Amino acid sequence: MRFGAPGNERPGLIDSTGQVRDLSGIIDDLAGEALSPESLKKLAKLDTEALPVVADPGRIGPCVSGTGKFICIGLNYADHAAETGARIPAEPVMFMKATSAICGPNDDLLRPRGSEKLDWEVELGIVIGKPASYVSEAEATDHIAGYCVVHDVSERGFQLERCGQWSKGKGCDTFGPVGPWLVTPDEVPEPRNLNLRLSVNGREYQNGSTQKMVYGPAFLVHYLSQFMTLHPGDIISTGTPPGVGMGQKPPVYLQPGDTVTLSVEGLGEQRQTVVQA
């Protein structure tokens, strides 16, 4: 995990008792080579009790730094595709989210100026740990540093009514809360059997399972690596289950003052308050 003020985060880990331990004397940040399999093996062997305890970590930052690409997969849950009236795609639908959208898991969610259709999407995130280019599906998991919670915030009017690509409604500031934790693959033995939940002001809207994913994590890493090299720190957001605001009857959208709480089983929880930009 990473903690501290925006732009000045320090790397840390959560020990077996739930305390935050400072990793800044071991690695500079959770970025680049620090995410490699070799680095993660070294971190796993650390005597965590010898690391400094962070009594008050304060703000939790994005769980990874140095992200060059923030890649999202659309319509990747069969039940969400049905909710939107779309067919299950023959291949993964891919779009990019601006890396400037990345923020901490509990940072305020900025409602853009002119926004009327601010929507939510809880998603399983994949963080790349070593370069992946033309990798097979069998090799793909070797390139995954870990998993995390991603909130793929969307402005549906910008996305669907303002012409052009989806990215216009996906990449606004704070539209990519990531974390709180980067959980290594050994702690997530079944990434295709995780519960995802999201509520707004205490009312649950999303309660799904990665079992419903059309394309799983290993396939997505393999697939995307056929089009571009994936680099350490790159994030893949793998799609959302049903229950988004656009799918309600009538649609429900986020307003200033609303609180969004979301989680992925074993990967932690996010909580954001919507404020007007």
Mean pLDDT over 57-69 rounds to 97
Query: What's the angle, vertex CA 38, arms to CA 184 and CA 179, rounded to 5?
Result: 30
Q: Please write the tens of the pLDDT for every residue from 176-197.
A: 999 999 999 999 999 999 999 9
Strands 109-111 and 195-200: unpaired
Six token digits for residue 12: 């840390």
Q: What values do phi and psi take at 88, rounded to 5?
A: -65, 125
Residue 84: pLDDT above 80? no
| Residue range 119-136: mean pLDDT, rounded | 98
Domain boundaries, the chain: 60-276
Tell which CATH classification among 3.90.1640.30, 1.10.40.30, 3.90.850.10, 3.40.50.880 matches the domain 60-276.
3.90.850.10
Asked whether residue 79 carries a pLDDT value surpassing 90, the answer given is no
pLDDT average, residue stretch 247-270: 97
Mean pLDDT value across the chain: 96
Q: Per-residue pLDDT averaged across 51-75, rounded?
A: 96
